[in-house]
Amino acid sequence: MKQRIITGVVAGAVFIVFLLLGGYFFQIFVGLLTFIALSELFKMKGIKFLTLEGILATLAALVLAMPFVANLLNMGANGPFILFAFFIFAMLVGTVFSKDGYNFENVAYPFFSAFYIGVGFQALNFARLAGIATVFYAILIVWATDSGAYFIGRQFGKHKLIPSVSPNKTVEGSIGGVVSAVVVSAIMIALFKSSLPDLPMWLLLILSAVFSCVAQLGDLVESGIKRHFEVKDSGTVLPGHGGILDRFDSMIFLLPLMHLLGLF
């Protein structure tokens, strides 16, 4: 627990510093998070970075996660996805000239990994462009959901949620996470309403409950990936917490939905 607390404080402080800096500093920092998260997925599968698919998939994820790259090339709003498609097509071309049986199915894992990670962290950058309060709103929903689910689940949990994916999670804990997220959101909305999306409070609270459920789905998806590859944590970069993907799995699901709904 001491190690978890120290790591959490240090990692949180670093994240907040870059969040406050914003601009290129934050986008490059998010690019680093993207690189590490993708490396964790590659390691699970046994894919090496210094290969054609490793390099191209990494570039594909980075151009999604750091929109300023496409802006520097004057490619417009669709630039990141055009560049992403270019790198994926290059991977497909590799199947034509491969002599060791590299085929379409081999492209699928790095392609979906790059898209999964890239889109999630791209939404984090878009949220920062909308304002620091929007990022904190998402972070607090995830934090409140995790904390509420953990404590309520330990105290009252009796019914397993999806034991085949995450045996420790319970229905009671899941409900507790949603309630906790709504309560914390209500406090933030009351204190910082002018900095948050211009929506009625009741609607934001309903959305907070939905976002809490989506955050839990993001966590379950990553749990399913780890169970498939029979690993406990996605990585070791955060002692006591696991990998970057372990910490951002909920955000990767939550932020694109917030963006889709027009909250930033």
Compute the mean pLDDT over every residue in the chain, rounded to the nearest whole number: 91
190 vs 49, which has greater pLDDT?
190
Count CB atoms within 10 A of the CB of residue 245.
26
Task: Name the amino acid, one letter, at 165.
Answer: V
What would the mean pLDDT of 182-200 be, rounded to a whole number? 90
Task: Name the amino acid, one letter, at 58.
Answer: T
Confidence of residue 96 (pLDDT cuts 50, 70, 90): confident
Q: What's the pLDDT at 223?
A: 93
Characterize 120-143 residue by residue with b for buried, 16 or more Cβ atoms within 10 angstroms of its Cβ, and e for exposed.
bbbbbbbbbeeeebbbbbbbbbbb
Confidence of residue 1 (pLDDT cuts 50, 70, 90): low
Confidence of residue 25 (pLDDT cuts 50, 70, 90): very high
Distance CA 171, CA 17 (A): 36
What would the mean pLDDT of 175-182 be, rounded to a whole number? 97
Lowest mean pLDDT among 68-72, 102-106, 115-119, 183-187: 68-72
Q: What's the pLDDT at 146?
A: 94
Distance CA 121, CA 209 (A): 22
Closest of 142, 143, 141, 139 to residue 127, by C-alpha: 139
> Do 153 and 170 meet the contact criterion of CB atoms below 8 Å apart?
yes
Distance CA 36, CA 71 (A): 23
What would the mean pLDDT of 156-182 be, rounded to a whole number? 94
Q: What angle do CA 224, 215, 203 make, to 5 degrees?
A: 150
Closest of 115, 111, 125, 113 to residue 38, by C-alpha: 113
Q: How many Cα neighbours within 13 Å face the side chain of 191?
A: 9
What Rg, from alpha-carbon coordinates, does the chain have? 19
Closest of 157, 87, 147 to residue 115, by C-alpha: 87
Q: Please give the share of the chain, as a percent, with pLDDT higher than 90.
A: 68
Q: What's the pLDDT at 195?
A: 85
Distance CA 117, CA 256 (A): 11
223 Cβ contact list (under 8 Å, min separation 6): 165, 166
Task: Name the amino acid, one letter, at 114.
Answer: A
Residue 152: Cβ-neighbour burial (10 angstroms; 0-12, 13-18, 19+): buried
Q: Please give the share of the chain, as a percent, with pLDDT higher than 70.
A: 100
pLDDT digits (tens, 9 = 90+) for 29-76: 999 999 999 999 999 999 888 888 889 999 999 999 998 877 777 777
Helices (H), the chain: 2-21, 23-45, 52-65, 68-72, 79-97, 104-130, 132-156, 171-192, 201-229, 244-260
Q: What is the pTM of this model?
A: 0.89
Closest of 14, 12, 25, 21 to residue 139, by C-alpha: 12
pLDDT of 99 above 80: no
pLDDT digits (tens, 9 = 90+) for 222-254: 999 999 999 999 988 888 788 999 999 999 999
Beta bridge partners of 258: none
Q: Is 225 helix (H, G, I), strand (E, B) or coil?
A: helix
